[in-house]
């Protein structure tokens, strides 16, 4: 069910939500968090679709702030409420304030927040200069950015490193969770030798390549080289050099990886490129600061050549 509320106020939106809950049983009491999405001038439907998929694991109220296509009439707010099959396991509220109201998006969101529920803010495209001090970021326990979707991914990632605060995270980091797990498991097997050099290969501007290299540089405390490939699909290969032989995790096609280790048969592993909805659902599982990401971003990234 989709309900349009043109030229409205957040107070009227809240009243309509209460009425819908009383009349149709659209219960908000089972929601575990409020997800605030600032799409700017980006695609509302793509962000809502990812949030709907993630909400099946994390029932939540989703509040989307989207700029009006034409700037809107001064001081005007258009809203839309989505419930039922149009909202996954969540309630979706889309707010389209005029250009004059956009700087005060936090005041539009506050009346719609679930009481006593954690708040997560997500910027699907371009993040603010300082997410933790952005009006929508200050109210959140977790702040999610996605440098992969930025116009200049690597520059955005390094800018985020300069203003990082506990609670910040980036979906480029979430996209390497499976890579980190496989590499850590391979190193956890004998022989327990130090890694002397690491080579990470992947798409030339993909920030996940830099974050994986930064994580390895920090944790293994060895030289890390990045091979950038213009026509690659995200990360393609990691080679860790040791005295007894190299450990190689190779994924040339973006779907299946081959793990090769000395004196062991080759292992074939399903390792597809992770989709947006998977990454968002993973980040919503934790509301505490990600200390490993913080150390990788602040301490490891400077060791990776820009």
Do 158 and 199 fall within a single domain? no
The answer to whether residue 219 is domain-embedded is yes
Task: Report the C-alpha gap between 121 and 64 in whole angstroms.
Answer: 10
Query: Quick check: 89 pLDDT over 80?
Result: no
Do 49 and 93 fall within a single domain? yes
Note the pLDDT tens digit of each residue in 137-169: 999 999 999 999 999 999 999 999 999 999 999
Q: How far is CA 57 from CA 182, 238, 284, in A?
A: 24, 32, 9
Query: Quick check: 185 pLDDT over 80?
Result: yes
Do 151 and 196 fall within a single domain? no
Tell me if 152 sits within 8 A of 146, measured CB to CB: no
Q: Which two tokens stand for residue 50?
A: 């990812």
Provide the residue range defining the domain that includes 60: 2-170
The pTM of the full predicted model, rounded to 2 decimals, is 0.93
pLDDT average, residue stretch 190-217? 96
Under the banding of pLDDT at 50, 70 and 90, the label for residue 20 is confident
Do 19 and 151 fall within a single domain? yes
For the chain, the domain total comes to 2
Note the pLDDT tens digit of each residue in 210-239: 999 999 999 999 999 999 999 898 999 999
Q: At which residue do the structure tokens 């994390």 appear? A: 58
Last residue of a domain, one of 148, 170, 192: 170
pLDDT average, residue stretch 79-93? 83
Do 27 and 160 fall within a single domain? yes
Do 183 and 140 fall within a single domain? no
Last residue of a domain, one of 143, 170, 197: 170
* pLDDT, position 28: 47
Do 19 and 119 fall within a single domain? yes
The answer to whether residue 302 is domain-embedded is no
């Amino acid at each position: 069910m989709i309900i349009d509320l043109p030229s409205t106020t957040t107070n009227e939106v809240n009243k309509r939500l209460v009425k819908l809950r009383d009349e149709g049983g659209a219960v908000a009491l089972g929601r575990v968090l409020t997800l605030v999405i600032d799409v700017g001038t980006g695609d509302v439907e793509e962000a809502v679709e990812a949030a709907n998929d993630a909400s099946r694991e994390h029932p939540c109220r989703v509040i989307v702030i989207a700029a009006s296509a034409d700037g809107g009439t001064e001081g005007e707010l258009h809203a839309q409420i989505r419930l039922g099959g149009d909202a996954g396991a969540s309630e979706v509220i889309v707010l389209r304030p005029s250009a004059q109201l956009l700087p005060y998006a936090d005041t539009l969101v506050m009346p719609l927040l679930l009481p006593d529920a954690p708040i997560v803010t997500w910027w699907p495209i371009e993040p603010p200069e300082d997410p933790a001090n952005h009006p929508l970021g200050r109210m959140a326990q977790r702040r999610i950015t996605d440098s992969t979707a930025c116009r200049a991914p690597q520059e955005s990632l390094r800018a985020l490193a300069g203003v990082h605060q506990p609670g910040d995270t980036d979906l480029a980091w979430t996209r390497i969770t499976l890579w980190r797990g496989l590499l850590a498991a391979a190193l956890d097997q004998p022989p327990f030798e130090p890694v002397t050099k690491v080579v990470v290969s992947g798409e030339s501007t993909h920030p996940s390549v830099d974050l994986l290299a930064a994580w390895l540089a920090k944790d293994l405390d060895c030289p890390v080289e990045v091979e950038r490939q213009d026509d690659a699909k995200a990360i393609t290969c990691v080679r860790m050099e040791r005295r007894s032989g190299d450990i190689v995790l190779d994924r040339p096609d973006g779907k299946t990886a081959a793990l090769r280790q000395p004196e062991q048969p080759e292992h074939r592993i399903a390792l597809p490129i992770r989709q947006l909805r998977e990454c968002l659902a993973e980040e919503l599982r934790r509301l505490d600061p990600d200390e490993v990401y913080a150390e990788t971003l602040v301490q490891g990234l400077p060791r990776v050549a820009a």
